[in-house]
Homo-oligomer: A and B are copies of this chain.
Amino acid sequence: MASIYGNKLKLSIFGQSHSAGIGVTVDGLPAGFSIDTVRLEQFLARRAPGKSPLATPRREGDAVEFLCGLYNGATCGAPLTGIIRNTNTRSGDYANLADCPRPGHADYTAAVKWKGHQDPTGGGHFSGRLTAPLCIAGGIALQILEKQGITVGAHIARIETVTDTPFDGVHISPAELKAVAEKAFPVVNDSVAPAMEAAILAAKEAGDSVGGIIECAAVGLPVGIGDPMFDGLESRLAAMLFAVPAVKGVEFGAGFGCAAMRGSQCNDPYCIRDGAVCTTSNNNGGILGGISNGMPILVRAAFKPTPSIAVEQDSVSLSKMEEKKLTVHGRHDPCIVIRAVPVVEAAVALALLDALL
Contacts and interface: CB of A to CB of B under 8 A. Distances in A.
A81 interface: yes
State which size class the interface on A falls in. 35 or more
A330 to B, nearest CB: 14
A147 interface: no
Given A256-B256, A262-B160, A23 B67 contact: yes
A16 to B, nearest CB: 5
A149 interface: no
A50 interface: no
B303 A258 contact: yes
Contacts of A125: 68, 76-79, 228-229
B32 A117 contact: yes
Contacts of A115: 31-32
Q: How many copies does the complex hold?
A: 4
Given A271-B314, A272-B322, 10 more contacts: A15-B67, A32-B117, A109-B292, A203-B263, A206-B262, A209-B262, A209-B263, A229-B243, A232-B243, A249-B258
A323 B262 contact: no
B323 A270 contact: yes
Contacts of A15: 67-68, 78-79, 81
B2 A258 contact: no
A213 B166 CA distance: 22
Given A1-B10, A69-B19, A114-B31, A106 B256 contact: no
A142 to B, nearest CB: 19
B251 A240 contact: no
A194 interface: no
Interface of A: 1-5, 7-16, 19-23, 25, 27-28, 31-32, 65-71, 74-81, 83, 101-106, 108-110, 112-119, 121, 124-126, 130, 158, 160-161, 203, 206, 208-213, 223-232, 234-236, 238-240, 242-243, 245, 247-272, 275, 277, 279-280, 283-285, 287-293, 302-309, 311, 313-316, 318, 321-323
Determine chain A's interface SS by DSSP, over half rule.
mixed
A67 B79 contact: no
A25 B12 contact: yes
Given A228-B126, A283-B304, A249 B255 contact: yes
A264 to B, nearest CB: 5
